[in-house]
Amino acid sequence: IDMKEEFKAGNTTNYSNRLKEELALRLSRGEQAILLLNRRGYANFMICRNCGHVFMCPNCDISLTYHEYSHSLKCHYCGHDEQLPKTCAKCGSEDLRFMGTGTQRIEDELREMFPKARIVRMDNDTTRTKNAHEKLLHEFETSGDILLGTQMIAKGLDFPKVTLVGIIQADNNLFISDFRAAEKTFQLLMQVSGRSGRRDQLGKVIIQAFNPEH
């Protein structure tokens, strides 16, 4: 799903209309869904929601990271530093956004859309205590509807009732300060896609991105 088109059509949430429909369908059938937020740490970069342009370092060709204390964009490789832009360098649009939304905000949006759904969130905050992983996975398997998490939910899970995997902000890790970012992102998307439809029912995977042609 091209999230630029969703934004232009007036949908400013992190969920495309197609993903909302598919989630509602799974809930009505009593099936389960896994949602991956492709995010690691606070890797905030700036993207134009109109054309998908990401602000890159002119020297290293990796994304510039937003630093709140100095209100600037910095390169973590060569130290290049530039002031926060007000318009897109490519198309001139003012619809600029920091990418790097946390799982809590994604969960809040999800609860607003599906107040009756039983949502299990797995990230660094919810898995700090001993045996938290096992408890959360058991809760999802026995009584959960939607498992929302970061890359810790991408591999090794085998739940027969999961028929939908949704990937929110698939481009998030494409633009982190790592030259292997594209390869790692592809690997993660493939791994989490394999969680859907592992038994008799067909699975579906929905990948949301601002740069779907990458």
Q: How do residues 78-99 score in pLDDT, each as one tens digit?
A: 889 999 999 999 999 999 988 7
Average pLDDT score, the chain: 87
For the entire predicted model, the pTM comes to 0.75
Residues 137 and 151: beta-carbon distance below 8 Å: no
Average pLDDT on 121-129 reads 82
Cα–Cα distance measured from residue 126 to residue 182, given in angstroms and rounded to the nearest whole number: 28
Cα–Cα distance measured from residue 60 to residue 42, given in angstroms and rounded to the nearest whole number: 20
Q: Which residue has the higher pLDDT, 71 or 38?
A: 71
Cα–Cα distance measured from residue 87 to residue 94, given in angstroms and rounded to the nearest whole number: 5
